[in-house]
Amino acid sequence: MELDVVELSRLQFAMTAMYHFLFVPLTLGLSIIVAIMETVYVMTGRPIWRQMTKFWGTLFGINFVLGVATGITMEFQFGMNWAYYSHYVGDIFGAPLAIEGLMAFFLEATFVGLFFFGWDKLTRLQHLVVAWLVAIGSNFSALWILIANGWMQHPVGAEFNPDTMRMEMTSFFDVLFNEVAQAKFVHTVSAGYVTASFFVLGVSAWYLLKGRHIELAKRSITIAASFGLAASLSVVLLGDESGYAASHTQRMKLAAIEAMWETHDAPAPFTVVGFPDQDARETHFAVEIPWVMGLIGTRSLTEEIPGINELVAQSEENIRRGIIAYDALMTIQAERENTPEVARTVFEETKEDLGYGFLLLRYLDDPREATDAQIVKAAWDTVPTVWPLFWAFRIMVGLGVMFIAVMGFFFYRSSFKGQSYPRWALWAAVAIIPTPWIAAEMGWFVAEYGRQPWTVEGILPTAMSVSHLSVADLLITLTGFIAFYTVLFIIEMGLMLKYIRKGPYLDVAETEAWQARHEHRLRTHDGRGPFAPAGASAASALDTPPNATPAE
């Protein structure tokens, strides 16, 4: 077991996955925002909404393509770098990935081309359906990927088969309706909606500050603020749901996030800030709020949340049982033709802990010969490094609360203050564009780093999951990915900024003509608004010029 290949493989996976997730959240949210805008266009027939659809659609396209391109790496990297993982859990983990392709990715990828190329070839309604299919496809993609990831966090519906030396599916239903996966799905797509809302809000705010594209910007802010407020509430709520799921599915992760070294009498306090010290196994300068952790984590006043020390003691027991399972497995393998009944029975009783036995492979080739000291060491390996989790989690949650506040403010101004926004708020909206990405990356970091030392919680240690590769192999690809991805990132940002600066450039004449008519109508109606009953029929006649064709 070469540690270097393991560390480099982890680094490469983390890097490529986090890079991929720079583009995914914007795709998830912007696809829906664009489809909403196009829906308004089809319902009202007002060219401004088509221009908005095309403008945000252009930015969507620049982002979408990199999400797709970097997603290919994710689909193939399991086999390339995590060969034993792929063999060991492919029977379960591969299925959602394949279904993602069948059900979701084909849909979004087939129709995204038509979204950009089909404006003149489709009727309005057909094009709207295409836009929604892209959005639905993108979001379904997320569902299947998170079902796969949820299974790594909480492996249900599967058991080990000693004949094939791998985990095999016992219930597809359980894999599908895994509570961790479901909470993660809604949490993650909501994060995507928040990201896109802040993106639209920030870019539009910049236009307002510069006095450009006012009509487009105001309408965009209204959409972004309403959608973003709902999404911000949802992301925090479902984040809480994920945390609650972790309290009975991934207790070590939860304890590490909270830097809870000792089991506290229920209900446990929540540590707002502090400095976790892994060696001393305590948190210095902790500022605690009583009861909160117990309430969030267990939703009761009496249930305890086990601390790290207690969980390590449990891991030690698991490892000892894992050794028995490993021993039985070796007997079954050696005498495959006529396995002694007792070995089968012992294995059935202990196989749930087989993965814990594998933790010892880091220290010796045969877990059965492990000393007590090695077992204790392996048990402590089940604790991820606490401080990065502790802080990443707090940054994420802090940002989440801020999202609600910002979106609430803009929603209020757009709904009740006649779409007037103070300049400082607009500048702030521009400045905080990157924050949803930071929160999303922190979230993934907590989810994946917090699962260590496992690739599949309690089943397969990370150190065992890698391919038989050399350090040189890894260095070549890692350098390649870094160089390649950096160049792509610079190009993408350059194009994004260029097209934001350029602003909406399609259908300009038509939109301006409509704008003039629209303002004229607002004036002639004495500011009673476009939906004033007296002029309703006249207004709609003005909306659609006589020579407009329905399929433009």
Partner 1 sequence: MILFELVDYEILRVIWWLLLGVLLTGFALTDGFDMGVGALLPFVAKTDLERRVVINTVGPVWEGNQVWFILGGGAIFAAWPPLYAVSFSGFYLAMFVVLAAFIVRPVAFKYRSKREDTRWRSSWDWALFAGGTVPALLFGVAVGNVLLGVPFYFNDMLMPFYEGSFVTKFIGLLRPFALVAGVVSFGMLLMHGAAWLCVKTEGVIAARARRIGTYAGLTAMGAYALAGLWLAFGIDGYVFVGEVVTDGPSNPLYSDVSRSASWLTAYAERPWIAVAPVMGFLGMGLAIRGLNRGGEVSALLFSKLGITGVVSSVGLTMFPFILPSTVDPNSSLTVWDSSSSHMTLFIMLICTVIFMPLILAYTAWVYKVLWGKVTEEEVRANSHSVY
Write out the binding residues for partner 1, residues 442-481 only, by CB under 8 A: 467-470, 472-473, 476-477, 480
- Minimum distance of partner 1 from residue 265's CB (angstroms): 44
Rounded CA-CA distance 58/183 in Å is 31
What number of other Cβ atoms are within 10 A of residue 130's Cβ? 22
The tokens describing 7, both together, are 């560390």
101 to 160, contacts with partner 1 by CB under 8 A?
A: 101-103, 105-107, 109-114, 116-122
Q: Are 398 and 436 in contact (CB under 8 A)?
A: no
Is 172 near partner 1 (CB under 8 A)?
Answer: yes
Rounded CA-CA distance 274/272 in Å is 7
- Minimum distance of partner 1 from residue 5's CB (angstroms): 11
Q: Are 142 and 189 in contact (CB under 8 A)?
A: yes
Q: Residue holding tokens 């979106």?
A: 407
Kindly tell me which of 5 and 224 has the beta carbon lying closer to partner 1: 5
- Please choose, out of 96-104, 246-254, 282-290, 313-321, the segment that lies near partner 1 by the rule CB under 8 A: 96-104
390 to 409, contacts with partner 1 by CB under 8 A?
A: none
38 to 67, contacts with partner 1 by CB under 8 A?
A: 54, 61-62, 65-66
Is 499 near partner 1 (CB under 8 A)?
Answer: yes
Kindly tell me which of 102 and 425 has the beta carbon lying closer to partner 1: 102
- Minimum distance of partner 1 from residue 440's CB (angstroms): 21
Helix/strand/coil (H/E/C) assignment for every residue in 350-376: HHHHHHHHHHHHHCCCCHHHCCHHHHH
First-to-last CA distance in the chain?
A: 63
- Minimum distance of partner 1 from residue 66's CB (angstroms): 7
- Among residues 27, 86, 138, 242, which is the contact residue for partner 1, using CB under 8 A? 86
Is 75 near partner 1 (CB under 8 A)?
Answer: yes
Is 168 near partner 1 (CB under 8 A)?
Answer: yes
Dihedral (Cα; 514, 516, 517, 522), 10-degree rounding? 120
From residue 227, alpha-carbon distances to 37, 188, 193, 430 in Å are: 12, 15, 7, 18
- Please choose, out of 98-106, 220-228, 258-266, 270-278, the segment that lies near partner 1 by the rule CB under 8 A: 98-106
Q: Which amino acid is at 79?
A: G
Q: Are 369 and 323 in contact (CB under 8 A)?
A: no
Rounded CA-CA distance 130/53 in Å is 13
Mask for 315-354, x = binds partner 1 (CB under 8 A) = ------------------x---------------------
- Among residues 495, 522, 532, 542, which is the contact residue for partner 1, using CB under 8 A? 495
**Site for partner 1 (CB under 8 A): how many residues?**
77
- Please choose, out of 23-31, 205-213, 230-238, 499-507, the segment that lies near partner 1 by the rule CB under 8 A: 499-507
Is 94 near partner 1 (CB under 8 A)?
Answer: yes
Q: Are 157 and 171 in contact (CB under 8 A)?
A: yes
Cβ neighbours for 226, distance < 8 A, ≥ 6 positions apart: 411, 414, 415
